[in-house]
Amino acid sequence: MRPKSENQNLSTTSSSSISDAPSSTSIDPIFLILRILPFSFLRPPRLRLKIPTFTLPSPMTVYALVLLTYFMVVSGIVYDVIVEPPGIGSTQDRVTGSVRPVVFLPGRVNGQYIIEGLSSGFMFVMGGIGIVLMDLALDRNRAKSVKLSYASAGITSVVIAYMMSMLFIRIKIPAYLR
Amino acid sequence: MVGKVEPVNGNVKSGSNQSTPAATQAATLKSDLLNSLSLKSLKLKTKQQELLIRVSILCLVYVLAFMTRLFSVLRYESMIHEFDPYFNYRTTLFLTQKGFYEFWNWFDYESWYPLGRIVGGTLYPGLMVTAAIIYWVLRFLRFAVHIREVCVLTAPFFASNTTLVAYFFGKEIWDSGAGLVAAALIAICPGYISRSVAGSYDNEGVAIFALLLTFYLFVKAVNTGSLAWALASAFGYFYMVSAWGGYVFIINLIPLYVLVLLITGRYSMRLYVAYNCMYVVGMLLAMQIRFVGFQHVQSGEHMAAMGVFFLMQVFYFLDWVKHLLSDTKLFQAFLRITVTCAVGVGAIALGVGTASGYISPWTGRFYSLLDPTYAKDHIPIIASVSEHQPTAWSSFMFDFHILLFLFPAGLYFCFKRLTDATIFIVMYGLTSMYFAGVMVRLILVATPAVCLISAIAVSATIKNLTLLVRAKNKAVSSGSSRGTSSAKGSSKGLIDHSQPFQRNGAIVLLLGAFYLLSKYATHCTWVTSEAYSSPSIVLSARGAHGNRIIFDDYREAYFWLRQNTPPDAKVMSWWDYGYQITAMGNRTVIVDNNTWNNTHIATVGRAMSSYEDEAFEIMRSLDVDYVLVVFGGVTGYSSDDINKFLWMVRIGGGVFPVIKEPDYLVNGEYRVDKGAAPKMLNCLMYKLSYYRFGELTTEYGKPPGYDRARGVEIGNKDIKLEYLEEAFTTSNWIVRIYKVKPPNNRW
């Protein structure tokens, strides 16, 4: 009951109170002091400022951010930060003595160099985006050439990503599928 | 169904009555057989055909999930694997022999000598009680099984049940096709198989089933708003709390999900009912587990759930006030004041609770998930476990294969169709993938989410492709004159005059999708067979001629201990082997895998890394009779105590500053050959591992004393033991047991 009666009282005085709410009928002591001390001789400029409102981003924006974090996690960035492997390994050729780079850390399943992690993560994300492009090619009312290019880009992305991932894992683990 | 077959037979019989009787009978028999075998003659409606297909797929997936986990049982024998399952087996044995009250009140004096362990209050009983119930049910039905067989096969059984839950969950999130694909994917996914093979009798085998069940019941409760489903999810949560310490993930993910729903403006009465019921009843039920106790109101890890609970009450209150007020501007002011006050009061309460110590801070194990560098610097025991290392890309690839491609695609489909259920699965997938990146062991928790989201991608893509293949037929039959059908065709993006090209393209893509899925099945079976089916207690290697050689040294040593030592003998070893020694050797140990007392472990580490006389003093103070070390120099076994030795030094040095790690290294390098540090060459661990090893030739063409695991010739070959004597060395020198000699007589 109480909120309703307050509502009725306030609705009659609402027009007057809300229209000049900032100035004359305020009981805030700090506001009154401020009105006297600096602002009796200083004139605040007229600005058009709005309190920033919080709007939610669109789902596809969030999806783009999610894809970025997925790329970082799947490339093994936590492993890179904690174990601090080199960016790329090196081995010395016995015969000539020259230093050759080694891209894939051999011998262990749970170990990597930084660059090999990033390139594998990129392949995974490319495969995912390929499937997304294939779906975009089917589901929209777009120009036929655009749909065709989406479809072909999607199919080639998936094929390349799968083949490269298989190649990477075969280089890293020589006994794979044998 | 049989009734429907008969009229067809009757027609055939009547029609063929005119020909010769013998040929007629043969013909009728053949046609009877064919008719009863073909599906069409059963005259099922489409819905019933679909139900039959679905049920048969689920049955096949159920059997598949069980069968693929049986590799090690078929290769070796039905035994318990690894280290932790031996403790679980021992407690289950105790439960079935002595009953529930003895189990609940059990004080174990055979481990952590002289401290003992209150087993009833320091374990998660869900797994043991589950296996005991299955055992009692089978016994009641007069199947005379041994408890060991039940323990070995519990995990595959629950994996099969998980596939069923995954089907229902997929049906809830997307549709039944996605549910079927999810069940099939999760049945063979190596990320789940690694911790649920037959023989791996560990908490995770049951806990993943409980986790997925709780999540499914909660999402069902949010979708329907029914009190019954919310209560069921509370009981699912209780089962999860009783099964595994990872329940903290549930009690933090669900509040986070509720928070995200509130922020995106999806507050509804269904959410209110579901979360309140689940939180309150679940919390009360969780407090029944002694190991958890009052943590739900006292520990920092559970405070998020309580905060969101209060926030939900504030939302409900504001909704009620909004319903009563009709002035929106006043309501906006009221809203701002109330939200500020509520957040302020909550922050003050949290601050007071943390400062006064009532709310304990996050424990090290879970804090290291949020800040992965914490364990490396501060808690060497956590950092030393190999399963706690961060994940490299190849571990992801090994455990997920093409699901890594399908996961981002599935996320896209979820973001396209945002509902309460898809928001949940997206959050579960993202948080669990982050934690899987921090710790290899947590790939297990991410597996159900990855399988479900990938199933959405597979289902949606295949649906699109099959629509392309099938819609072509409709457009061809109806022609381009009908406006409606061509409009339907163009809404799917099809244009009539390129029909055959698109149809063939869709068929090719469908074949490609099936090819990828078959490669996934091949990969999963290969990984299961090669990598995840080894019992760890029995080692195997390929001999010179390609034949398989089996090293059963561990069980040989534990059986020797059981038969040849006095029953009250105390065995000192590194904590890895504690559970196995107590379970199989039946002897008291000093430290075991529970690792609850860091100082006790540091004492053992100090004893292993000191000179023999100092170590003898420590061993006398602990009443040690036998010392057990694991040595891989003869076989090339690389997980032996010499390779783990630096961790013993670090853990010991963390409590006793007398032990300094640089004393054992040469120029920062860890060596055991001639150039090794003198403290290394004379410490107890070195002496016990290499005693009499200097006389042994291990490899053709190498000098005696060549260590095959390190690849060097050892430095100190002439080892004399003063306070210990050798008791037993196994046939391949993997486990070596020494007896501690009593002190000399004074005069």
Query: What ipTM did this prediction achieve?
Result: 0.83
Over range B642-651, report the average pLDDT.
91
Q: Residues B68-120: pLDDT tens digits?
A: 999 999 988 899 998 899 999 999 999 999 999 999 999 998 889 889 899 98
B558 and B615 in contact (C-beta within 8 Å)? no
In chain B, which residue's Cα lies nearest the Cα of A62? Answer: B415
Instruction: Please name the residue of chain B whose CA is at the shortest distance from the CA of residue A169.
Output: B394
Alpha-carbon distance values, B523 to A176, B66, B518, B540 (Å): 9, 17, 9, 22
Looking at CA atoms only, how far is residue A96 from chain B in angstroms?
25
Given CB atoms, is A165 within the 8 Å cutoff of chain B?
A: yes
pLDDT at B697 over 60: yes
Q: Which two tokens stand for residue B146?
A: 């041994």
B549-to-A164, B76, B531, B635 alpha-carbon distances in Å: 36, 12, 17, 11
SS3 label, residue B570: strand
Helices (H) and strands (E) in chain B, counts: 33, 11
Identity at B129, one-letter amino acid code:
V
DSSP letters for B191-248: HHHTT-STT--SHHHHHHHHHHHHHHHHHHHHHH--HHHHHHHHHHHHHHHHH-TTHH
d(CA B648, CA B657) in angstroms, rounded, equals 13
DSSP for B321-365 reads: HHHH---HHHHHHHHHHHHHHHHHHHHHHHHHHHHHTSSBPPPHH
**Are residues B430 and A3, on separate chains, in Cβ contact within 8 Å?**
no
Name the residue in chain B with its Cα closest to that of A117: B393
B182: region left, alpha or beta (phi > 0 left; psi from -120 to 50 alpha)? alpha
Mutate to test the interface with B, among A7, A124, A145, A166 (most CBs of B within 10 A): A124
Which of chain A's residues have a Cβ under 8 Å away from the Cβ of B516? 162
- Cβ of B397 within 8 Å of Cβ of A11? The answer is no
Nearest to B400 by CA among B446, B431, B434: B446
Which helix (H) or strand (E) segment is A119 a member of?
helix A114-139
Binned at pLDDT 50, 70 and 90, residue B404 comes out as: very high
Provide, as residue numbers in chain A, all residues whose Cβ is less than 8 Å from the Cβ of B460: 135
B390, B440 in Cβ contact below 8 A?
Answer: yes
CA distance B247 to chain A (A): 23
Q: Classify residue B666 by its DSSP letter.
A: B
Q: Do B412 and A132 lie within an 8 Å CB cutoff?
A: yes
Judge contact between B272 and B323, C-beta under 8 A.
no
Question: Mean pLDDT across the stretch B394-423?
Answer: 94
Report the gap between the CA of B560 and the closest CA in chain A (Å).
34
pLDDT one-digit tens code per residue, B229-249: 999 999 999 999 999 999 999
**Can you give B15-70 as a three-state secondary structure string?**
HHHHCCHHHHHHHHHHHHHHHHHCCHHHCCCHHHHHHHHHHHHHHHHHHHHHHCCC
Which tokens go with A176? 């794979």
> Is the bond preceding B114 in cis, omega lying within 30 degrees of 0?
yes
Tell me the per-residue pLDDT of B271-311, one tens digit each, with 9 for 90 and over: 999 999 999 999 999 999 999 989 999 888 899 999 999 99
Look at B330 and A129 and tell me if their CB atoms are within 8 Å: no
Prediction pTM value: 0.85
Q: Using the predicted structure, report yes or no on whether residue B510 has a pLDDT greater than 60.
A: yes
Rounded to the nearest angstrom, the minimum Cα separation between A146 and chain B is: 11
For chain A, which residues score pLDDT lower than 70? Answer: 1-24, 140, 178
Binning pLDDT at 50, 70 and 90, where does residue B39 land? low
Q: Are A99 and B376 in contact (CB under 8 A)?
A: no
| Residues B215-231 pLDDT 10s | 999 999 999 999 999 99
Cβ under 8 Å to B: A residues 16-55:
18
Distance of CA B325 to the CA centre of its chain: 51
For helices B21-37 and B2-15, angle between their N-to-C axes, nearest 10 degrees: 150
Nearest to B408 among A67, A155, A172 (CB): A67
Comparison of pLDDT for B456 and B668, the residue scoring more: B456
- B438 contact residues in A (CB cutoff 8 A): 78
Q: Do A139 and B391 touch (CB under 8 A)?
A: no
State pLDDT tens for residues B530-565: 888 888 888 888 777 878 888 999 999 999 999 999
pLDDT grade, residue B176 (50/70/90)?
Answer: very high
